[in-house]
A and B are shown apart, each in its own frame.
Chain A
Amino acid sequence: MAKSPLVEALRTRPWARRGLSLVSVVLLLGGLGLVGYPFFTNVYQGQVQDRLVRQIASPELKQAYRERKVQYGDSLTRIRIPRLGVDAVVVEGTTPSALRAGAGHYPQTALPCDEGNVAIAGHRTTYGRPFGNLDQLRTGDTIELSTPLGSCTYRLHRDPFVTEPTDLGVLEPGPERMVTLTTCHPKGSAAKRLIVQATWVKDSTAA
């Protein structure tokens, strides 16, 4: 078979071989980086959560919470979903940097365990994916929120549902105290949003 003159030139000339070798290394490292991206975000989120767990128990945060002055990126509440095994600290704010903690509280909504609609957004495939299996919840499942001032429990009154990213109505308060969890849908895509809503059941004393 006749060999391509171009390929032969690339194989035989020293400068061409060194250049191609460098290109192959760069492509390899780039590919590994992109494929491993979710893994790297999970590692980072784990480190952030360690810091947030320590912060949520601090008296300074308790004082800031009492004065309604929790800063963006600081610990706000701890969310537990027994059915899915979710246990993560939620920060204040839903900016991209705040959400690197895994889950963040919509600042324009009610505070956890308060009157109104408490809305929390969480990652589904990266940064610890705390809301990765939210679609598996069903009516009757419970969600617990623990704050520096006390805890409360909510129960799902409907199954999770999908809506458009622009459907900000899910953040509006309802007739009862409630919590709303949002995450992207389907997994790996931001085309839609998956919504879980639960109604308040009871309060507990401070932990």
Chain B
Amino acid sequence: MRIVHRLGAGIVAVLVVSLMLVSPAHAQAKKEIETVTRPESYAATALARALELSVLNLNLTVASSGIEINSSPSAKATGAGVALLPNTTSEAKAGAGESSAPPKACALNLPLSIINVELACGETSAATTGDGPQALGRGTVAAIDIGGGQLLQLLKPVLDLLKPVLGTVLAVVQPVLGGLQLPLVGQLAGLDPATDPVSSLVDKLTKATSLVSIKIGNSTAQGKTTAAAVSSEGNAQGAQIDVLPGLALGGSPLLSIVVGSAKATATFDRNGGKADATFDGAIATVKVGLPILGGNILELPIKLGQPIRLLEGTPLESEISLGAGSTKRESDGAVSSVADGVKIHLLKGISGGVKLELAHAEAAVGGLTRLTSKQVVVDPIPQLAKTGGEPWVPMAGAGLLVAAYLTRRTLVTRPAGARQPAEG
């Protein structure tokens, strides 16, 4: 029993010492500090182009726009009615805390060789305020005419070619025009192939106001930054292309191609860190008619991978194909999208013809989210100087002395004959 008592006393002493060793809590204020381990970064671009035109070695980019924004922060924008013509081009740039919105740059009735451009304008704005950089570029052209007063001069070699090969032309035209071929053949049957059809054709052609007339919409490139996302968008509005407009009494063209708009977008989620891209490709429809022959207007939609060829084998051969759109994701997470528009090659046999690429848009974006680490910092609350002793010190000392005594007692061996149990 003595052993038990001693062990119990020892345990109590240890407990008392342990309690005394617990220091009183010091007044502290805890606060959380957030440290940025990787700053946020992002960049976005977009461009849109309503029309790329090539005729008689003259190349024009019409109604184009572009933007570039990034997390520097920086914002840039360009917009042009006709690229490379300064009086129709606008540019804007903005650094941190800046904004720029130059006046709209416009020019009216620009004669460029055989091309006449009506009212071409470029417009831009750029700013880096609020949530981040913003940029807008826009290019517009009211209308473009190709040919005009030089029309007959352009067509003369065609007419000369037509005379000896009219029969061949008709044979080639036949399968292409489908239901229109019968009226065409019927109309021309019995006529002197050397002169009458050609004379009739020339008569009608003189009524055309130009070779090609194009009415095009705007092209817009935009970059936006909000608290949640960074986005870029390229948008090229549609166009209507009239080949030999005014050919008929009612003013209808020989051929009319209607092209819809093309749009490409890309978005970066600033919170989630993910980027996505989409595109809406342009659609196009060809309206073919020979109103000079009293035929009906035929509408032919242009399908992807199925170009339409008209008047094949003739100097007037024309081809219309629809471009594809696509999206792409890079290994670092950046994304891009392209909406390819319509490609048209008209009147290939007339001095190389007229090449047009319409409704092209691109957008791209990429970025990295901000990474932070949180750290708890303990700030001691200011106090009056501490000049008191620790209460546990003497108690702990007493506890150690008791423990030393008990340990020593355990080692002592009882002398022989001490406290023998009573016999009875």
A→B interface (CB under 8 Å): 1, 3-4, 7, 10-11, 17, 20-21, 23-25, 27-28, 30-38, 94, 96, 99, 104, 106, 121-126, 131, 165-168, 170-171, 182-185, 187-191, 193
Contact = CB atoms under 8 A, between A and B. Distances in A.
A166 B397 contact: no
Contacts of A25: 404
Nearest to A3: B3
B389 interface: yes
A93 to B, nearest CB: 9
Interface string B15-54: 0000000001001000000000000000000000000000
14 contacts: A11-B411, A27-B404, A28-B401, A31-B400, A34-B397, A35-B397, A94-B385, A99-B385, A104-B385, A123-B387, A165-B384, A166-B382, A171-B384, A187-B388
Contact of B3 (A4, A37, A182, A189): A4
Given A37-B394, A167-B384, A168-B382, A126 B389 contact: yes
B71 to A, nearest CB: 45
A76 to B, nearest CB: 14
Contact of B401 (A32, A124, A167, A188): A32
Contacts, number: 119
A37 B390 CA distance: 11
B386 interface: yes
Contacts of B408: 24
Interface in B387-424: 387-391, 393-394, 396-404, 407-408, 410-411, 413, 421
B191 interface: no
Given A31-B398, A35-B398, A37-B394, 6 more contacts: A30-B397, A32-B401, A124-B388, A165-B386, A188-B391, A193-B384
Contacts of A125: 388-389
A126 B385 CA distance: 14
A34 B408 CA distance: 19
Contact of A166 (B27, B387, B393): B27
B383 interface: yes
Contact of B387 (A10, A34, A124): A124
A182 B410 contact: no
Contacts of B401: 27-28, 31-32, 35
Contact of A121 (B384, B402, B404): B384
A182 B398 contact: no
Contacts of B387: 99, 121-124, 131, 182-184, 190
Contacts of A131: 387
Contact of B404 (A4, A24, A99, A104): A24
A35 B394 contact: yes
Contacts of A166: 27, 381-384
A10 B413 CA distance: 11
A27 B413 contact: no
B1 interface: yes
B411 A21 contact: yes
B403 to A, nearest CB: 5
A28 B3 CA distance: 21
Size class of the B contact interface (CB-based, 8 Å): 20 to 34
Nearest to A127: B387
A185 B388 contact: yes
Given A125-B389, A190-B388, A27 B383 contact: no
Contacts of A122: 387
Contact of A34 (B400, B411, B421): B400
A13 to B, nearest CB: 11
A28 B402 CA distance: 8
A193 B388 CA distance: 9
Given A24-B404, A35-B397, A165 B1 contact: no
Nearest to B412: A11
Contacts of B1: 1
A11 B397 CA distance: 26
Which of A170, A171, A188 has the largest count of B CB atoms less than 10 A from its CB?
Answer: A188
A33 B399 CA distance: 12
A27 B400 contact: yes
Nearest to B408: A24
B421 to A, nearest CB: 8
B386 A190 contact: yes
Nearest to A25: B404
Given A125-B389, A166-B383, A33 B407 contact: no
B81 to A, nearest CB: 71
Contacts of B413: 11
Contacts of B394: 34-35, 37-38, 188
Contact of A184 (B386, B407, B410, B421): B386
Nearest to B27: A166
Contacts of A191: 24
A156 B411 CA distance: 60
A106 B399 CA distance: 37
A126 to B, nearest CB: 5
B11 to A, nearest CB: 15
Given A11-B411, A24-B411, A124-B387, A32 B397 contact: yes
Contacts of B411: 10-11, 17, 20-21, 24
A123 B385 CA distance: 10
B410 A11 contact: yes
Nearest to A30: B400
Nearest to A121: B385
B413 to A, nearest CB: 6
A25 B408 CA distance: 9
A165 B27 contact: yes
